[in-house]
Amino acid sequence: MSVDKSKANVVVKTCGVRTVDAAIAATEAGADIIGVIFAASGRQIDLDRAQEIAQAIRQTRTSDDTVLSASAIHQEIDPTASASEYFQACTSRILNSTRPLLAGVFQNQSLDHILHITRMVPLDLVQLHGMEPVDMAEKIPVPVIKVFHVDDQFSLENSDLFTTFQHSIVLLDTKVAGTDQQGGKGVSFDWTLARKLADIGVPFLMAGGLTPENVAKAVEVGGAWGVDVSSGIETNKVKDVAKIRAFINNTKGV
């Protein structure tokens, strides 16, 4: 079973959004997921700004909000499902909800803090972007995007990607040496490593060094279900509307 690689169906997550204007620009351009960062980062935002962005996004939605429940999604899936069947079911159910969805990005932060922010914003999705144990997702009420950092030593067999099916979406991002802060560095990994996951039918988001110029090739080589971009749609570390539109258009083949 292979992942659907139709360009129009490729999911786009624009991450590191810090303003209402950038969130609306991404929404109007066709982004499926808007990411806001609560981890230590130059793109970190506070609760008040996140709530403003959440309100603005919800006002663009054409149907009533339905709160995504991770447990409800997982309970509908056959407990004997394979990895590909499980993650395909999760991603299908998540994207059947009204879009764009709002994801909060955390990195090695306490569960209490994550739960507080999730409730107060409120968030549709939580992204765990650090070294959190995969079973932390079981304690988070909304679906979880779990990052797996990729370097030359990465292998599916030796990762904990399949040790528990509590997260709902897999994210592959570049492991950057010499820093504890991962993500948003504009560094790519070998996309052929991602293809191995696509070839067994597991949908996943791919991040790391993606730009409007290389995203179509990245999707073609890696077979990604979706792409996650931050620095690649910025100019001087500020979200650039023209780059947002170009990235989404080039991803979806518009």
- Helices within the chain (DSSP H only): 20-29, 47-60, 70-75, 83-95, 111-120, 191-199, 215-222, 241-252
When pLDDT is averaged across residues 10-15 and rounded to a whole number, the result is: 97
For the chain, the maximum distance between any two Cα atoms, rounded to a whole number of angstroms, is: 48
Residue 177 has pLDDT above 80, yes or no: no
254 pLDDT band, cuts 50/70/90, is low
The span from the CA of 149 to the CA of 8, in Å, is: 27
pLDDT in tens, 184-199: 566 788 898 889 899 9
pTM exceeding the 0.85 threshold for the entire prediction: yes
Q: Decide which of 206 and 161 is more confident.
A: 206
pLDDT in tens, 18-46: 999 999 999 999 999 999 999 999 999 99
Strand runs labelled E in 62-208: 101-106, 125-128, 144-150, 169-174, 204-207
The span from the CA of 247 to the CA of 50, in Å, is: 23
118 pLDDT band, cuts 50/70/90, is very high
Residue 5 has pLDDT above 50, yes or no: no
- Computed from CA positions of residues 128, 132, 135, 139, in that sequence, does the dihedral angle turn out positive or negative? negative
Share of the chain residues as helix, strand and coil, in percent rounded to the nearest 5: 35, 20, 45
